Amino acid sequence: MSKCIEHREFIPVAEVPAEIPDGIAAKYYVRWPGSFHEITQDNVKRIMKNLRSGNWMDIYLYHEEDEEGDYLDLETDGTLYDLSYGEDMGQIWWSTYDPDYLGSDEETDIDASDGQSIIYRETTTADKEAVMTAIEYFIHTGKLWDGIPWMKNWDEWVEE
């Protein structure tokens, strides 16, 4: 018989966070329900302006236009920000977190773009500027920004 062991690892903020370089690594974005749009040097500022101003409350960023690869996802209500990264087809899941709510089942008022998911307070942050910088960094590098703390989650199936 197998059992699932849930793992968590906490990645702290780097002493000197990485700066945002030039270039585009995350090539596509989508806002649900919607279609994929290409990210270019010309529209990065518009994307970030829409996110910072609150015109957009969600975005998914992808390397490829197929929803199959790794992605960065933002869901927000304008006060709390749920920023998560799905790696290896969602087998490994990274998220922002609030240490005061770890282990809590408290739900937020964030309306998930899929219309059904519940977003828990545990995986949110109120640090809007750090979230916006992390999104912009991901667009340019395709990697997670080390200037925000991350919680890494994954499951492991073991035989008993």
pLDDT value of position 69: 79
> H-helix or E-strand containing 132?
helix 128-141
Band (pLDDT 50/70/90 cuts) for residue 106 is: very high
The reported pTM is 0.92
Residue range 22-31: mean pLDDT, rounded: 93
pLDDT for the residue 1: 84
Count CB atoms within 10 A of the CB of residue 85.
21
pLDDT at position 23, please? 93
By the 8 A CB rule, do 98 and 121 touch? Answer: yes
pLDDT tops 90 at residue 40: yes
> Distance from first CA to last CA of the chain, Å, rounded?
6
Strand 81-87 versus strand 58-62 pairing type: unpaired
pLDDT for res 128: 98
Tokens linked to 115? 């219309």
Mean pLDDT of 83-102: 91
Instruction: Round to whole Å and give the CA distance between 140 and 41.
Output: 9
Mean pLDDT along residues 84-93: 86
- Across the range 107-121, mean pLDDT stands at 93
